[in-house]
């Protein structure tokens, strides 16, 4: 946690070293000033502890391109944002403590409530004694005063940028009456998103034996945040937020060192280790990385960089079919036209290993009957490489087919009956 005095020194240090050095207590507590000799001794002890607790490299269990890295974490994953396809992973489905990565679900629920109108950015949220941070250095806080009120949009920034436990608890109580009530909303959303190895107990990620998630689930959640909350996603790239006179920096070190990175969230407890979910967009490709339970803030940043570097270097976008191309003709019964042209409804980009040759096969729906609306799905196109499916996209009607008149339909029934 940052101290209550404003300073740009931590940010400058992060830029110089490539990592924000978060603090040692759960969810980054603020260290007190130390004498130089004591500081050197503490630094030496930290280095020794980091070496002693270093995890062995975890090799990829699945990888769609060669030379995937081995990373010293308990679980890691690389996902293509556009398709949701996992490009490489290790231990992707083990349920592990997610620490403050939990707050991605908390912020996601707030964002969806804002989009639907259930919340307004200017709505006021009251800070109860349960939500209030008591000024200790044992947890990350937005430092909302007791019994004060803050706007929903400030609360959202406090959750995303400052990782505020107080902000998370306050919005949970505002929306659901209690942390437990909000956890029900979180788990309902997790079920809707098909997060099969996730269970939330609280909105903060503070340790609980039943509070778990997996690398795959967290990547799916990150993808939903980017996809469903475009107007609020820029908050995840903000480097600092000042509230109540206290300026705190975003702990995602990659925001300071890689201009292609625009989110998402860090996490740390003693049990969860150091965790990071990151999203990066370069040209027309966006990748999502998840690092769970590594041994330092530097390690989670370095491993994310390694994974992004391998991903962008090993994969490219392919366009199997142009958006305006007609790729098939679907037969239509009982219409003023006997057929309708089929093509893509939206541009189709595949993420494939560099140099991959992609083939396509068209499957049209049998038994189509008029009326057929323009844009209605009439089939699909499947992309393959070396005989293995690498993606598919729906094909839609390129024109409307109206239903034929009664006499013409009668004749069409007769011709169908006799197989003509």
Strand positions, DSSP E, 254-401: 261-269, 273-282, 285-294, 315-318, 326-333, 339-344, 350-353, 359-364, 368-369, 377-385, 388-397
89, 100, 168, 214: the active-site residue: 100
The Cα–Cα gap between 352 and 80 comes to 10
100 part of the active site: yes
- Which residues face 240 on adjacent strands? 249
- List Cα–Cα distances, 208 to 130, 150, 269, 295, in angstroms: 17, 28, 11, 20
Q: How far apart are CA 373 and CA 401, in angstroms?
A: 7
Annotated catalytic residue within 89, 140, 163, 296? 163
163 is catalytic: yes
| Phi, psi of 282, deg, nearest 5 | -125, 120
Q: Tokens 């939330």 identify what position? A: 200
Q: Are strands 326-333 and 368-369 parallel, antiparallel or unpaired?
A: parallel
* Contact predicate 173/131, CB 8 Å: yes
Query: Coil, helix or strand for 189?
Result: helix
Residue tagged active-site, from 2, 74, 103, 265: 103
314: annotated active-site residue: no
Question: How far is the C-alpha of 270 from the C-alpha of 176, rounded, in Å?
Answer: 29
203 is written with which tokens? 């909105």
Distance (Å, rounded) from C-alpha 58 to C-alpha 50? Answer: 17
For the record, the structure tokens of 1 come out as: 């946690």
- Take residue 44 and report the two structure tokens written for it: 């030496």
The answer to whether 336 touches 375, Cβ cutoff 8 Å, is: no
Q: Which residues have CB under 8 Å from 248's CB, separation 6+?
A: 1, 2, 161, 162, 240, 241, 242
Burial zone of 271 (CB within 10 Å; 0-12 exposed, 13-18 middle, 19+ buried)? middle
Among residues 121, 152, 154, which one has the least CA distance to residue 242? Answer: 154
Give the separation between CA 197 and CA 49, rounded to whole angstroms. 31
Among all residues, which ones are annotated catalytic? 100, 103, 163
């Amino acid at each position: 946690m940052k101290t209550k005095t404003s300073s740009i020194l931590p940010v400058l240090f992060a830029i110089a070293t490539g990592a924000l050095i978060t603090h040692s207590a759960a969810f980054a507590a603020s260290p007190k000033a130390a004498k130089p000799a004591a500081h050197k001794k503490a630094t030496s002890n930290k280095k020794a502890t980091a070496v002693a607790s270093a995890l062995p490299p975890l090799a990829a269990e699945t990888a769609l391109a060669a030379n995937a890295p081995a990373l010293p974490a308990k679980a890691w994953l690389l996902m293509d944002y556009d398709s949701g396809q996992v490009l490489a992973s290790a231990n992707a489905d083990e349920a592990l403590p997610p620490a403050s990565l939990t707050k991605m679900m908390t912020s996601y629920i707030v964002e969806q409530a804002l989009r639907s109108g259930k919340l307004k950015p200017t709505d006021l949220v009251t800070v109860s004694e349960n939500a209030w941070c008591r000024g200790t250095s044992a947890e990350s806080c937005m430092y909302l005063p007791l019994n004060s009120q803050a706007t929903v949009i400030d609360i959202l920034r406090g959750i995303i940028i400052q990782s505020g436990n107080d902000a998370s608890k306050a919005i949970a109580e505002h929306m659901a009456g209690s942390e437990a009530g909000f956890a029900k909303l979180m788990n309902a959303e997790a079920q809707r998103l098909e997060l099969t190895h996730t269970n939330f107990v609280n909105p903060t990620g503070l340790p609980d034996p039943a509070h778990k998630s997996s690398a795959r689930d967290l990547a799916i959640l990150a993808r939903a945040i980017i996809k469903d909350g475009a107007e609020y996603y820029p908050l995840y790239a903000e480097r600092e937020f000042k509230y109540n006179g206290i300026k705190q920096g975003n702990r995602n070190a990659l925001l300071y060192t890689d201009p292609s990175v625009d989110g998402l969230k860090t996490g740390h407890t003693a049990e969860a280790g150091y965790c990071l979910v990151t999203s990066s967009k370069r040209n027309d490709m966006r990748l999502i990385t998840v690092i769970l339970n590594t041994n330092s803030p530097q390690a989670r940043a370095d491993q994310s960089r390694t994974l992004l570097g391998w991903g962008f270097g090993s994969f490219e976008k392919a366009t199997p079919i142009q958006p305006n191309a007609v790729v098939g003709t679907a037969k239509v019964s009982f219409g003023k036209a006997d057929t309708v042209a089929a093509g893509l409804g939206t541009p189709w980009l595949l993420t494939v290993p560099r140099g991959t040759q992609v083939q396509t096969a068209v499957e049209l729906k049998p038994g189509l009957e008029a009326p057929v609306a323009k844009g209605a799905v009439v089939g699909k196109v499947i992309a393959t490489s070396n005989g293995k499916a690498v993606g598919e996209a729906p094909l839609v009607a390129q024109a409307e087919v109206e239903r034929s008149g009664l006499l013409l339909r009668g004749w069409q029934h007769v011709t169908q009956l006799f197989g003509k």
